Every structure is written in structure tokens, then in C-alpha cells.
Amino acid sequence: MQNDWLEKWNTRFGQEEYVYGTAPNVYLKEKLENLQPGSILFPAEGEGRNAVYAAQLGWKVSAFDISEAGQRKALQLAEKKGVELDYVVGELPNLGYQIEEFDAIALIYAHFPPHIRSKYHKLLNNYLKKGGTLIFEGFSKDHLAFKKKNPKVGGPNNVDYLFSLEELETDFANFEFLELKKTTITLNEGDGHVGKGSVIRFLGQKK
């Protein structure tokens, strides 16, 4: 992973405030509440707001990120909320997760660099059990127009880091798409996601 990418996230997560707040993502919250708790993985989990929420619901939670600053704040939040996370720092291929280990995976604004994204999606696909659930929300390629009007909405500046429906359909071709849509929403997640943006929401079940 490029050093500037790591430095960016360690700097962002190094501040005292939680960049995206401590409340869970709205779409994730809505979908998790309809699932029976089991084992769940949170890739690119940052400061832990979503992982901690899942743990509060009774899920066995694993998470990873490249940022030690993010991990530190996630574990602080987990301690404050009285839950436990298995949160590791590193790059996905090196973390030792097992084939069909998880009942669910939550990709919430997990904008991996484009040169590794499909590889990571394939690995995550392998780590999910057959019949398992994938919950996804991320910025679409249309989002740059929204960010240009309002930088506070956040998200990558490079269109190659953003998602298209076609790319997700290709990367997760072995899924039943219970929901897959591009939509405009109003975000209110800390200071990092504030305002209208274009996102893709995806709920899938592995065949």
C-alpha cells in the first residue's frame, strides 16, 4: 500500500473527534436489524462506528484497516460501549481470514485503491459463507458533481475510486441481488459526510 495513502488515513483518524461520528451508517443499521446475529467482517472499518454497533446487537465482529490511528479509536469506542472487536491492522491478503468464515460482510464506504479493489472483492467473496449476506454502501461515479458543489459531503476526489453498478455486478456475479441501486441521499455522519451525495446501495446473498 502506498505510504501516502496510509499517511492520509492516519492523519485523518489521528484527530480527537470521530471523523464520521460514532453512530452507525443508516443503511447498515437498517439491514443488520433484519438479520440473525452471527459472524461479521468489516473491511476498511476506520474508527469503528459500524463494527461497534454490530457488536452491540450481538454479532461476533472482526474488522481491519490499514490505519493504526483508526484501530486505536475503534477500540476506545468499543471499550466505552462495553463490547469487544477483533480488529487488526494490515492489508487483506496478509490477515489470515478463512474461506467461508463469515455469515455477513459489511462494505461501508470501503473505497479501496482501484488497482487492488477487484482482488479484495474476490477475497472477501471467498471469506463469506454460501447463503451469507453482503451489505454495501459507497459513493457512485456520479458523486464527484455533488462533492464539487459541497466538499463537506466527503468521498474520494478521483473517479477511479468510485463505484459503478456494472463493476459491482461483475465483482459479485455469484450473488443474488436483493437490492442494488444508485440513489441520492443526504448524509449526516460526523464532519466527514455532510450533505447530498450519490451512492450505490447493495444487499446481496451469496449463492
pLDDT of residue 2: 58
- Write down the CATH superfamily of domain 3-206: Vaccinia Virus protein VP39 (3.40.50.150)
Q: DSSP per residue over 119-180, as a string?
A: HHHHHHHHHEEEEEEEEEEEEBTTHHHHHHH-GGG---SSGGGSB-HHHHHHHTTTEEEEEE
Assign residue 96 a region (left: φ > 0; alpha: ψ between -120 and 50; beta: otherwise).
left
Cα 162 → chain centroid: 13
Residue type, 58: G
Range 153-159, long-range pairs (CB < 8 A, 24+ positions):
153/187, 153/193, 153/194, 153/195, 153/196, 153/197, 154/187, 154/192, 154/193, 154/194, 154/197, 155/109, 155/111, 155/193, 155/197, 156/111
pLDDT of residue 168: 97
When pLDDT is cut at 50, 70 and 90, the band that residue 10 belongs to is confident
SS3 78: helix
- 204's enclosing H/E stretch is strand 193-206
pLDDT digits (tens, 9 = 90+) for 179-192: 999 999 999 999 99
Counting Cα atoms < 13 Å in the Cβ hemisphere of 46 gives 25
Rounded CA-CA distance 168/111 in Å is 12
Calculate what percentage of the chain has a pLDDT beyond 90.
92
SS3 85: coil
pTM for this prediction: 0.95
| Average of per-residue pLDDT across 153-157 | 95
Rounded CA-CA distance 89/87 in Å is 7
Domain borders along the chain are 3-206
In SS3 terms, 5-24 reads as: HHHHHHHHHCCCCCCCCCCC
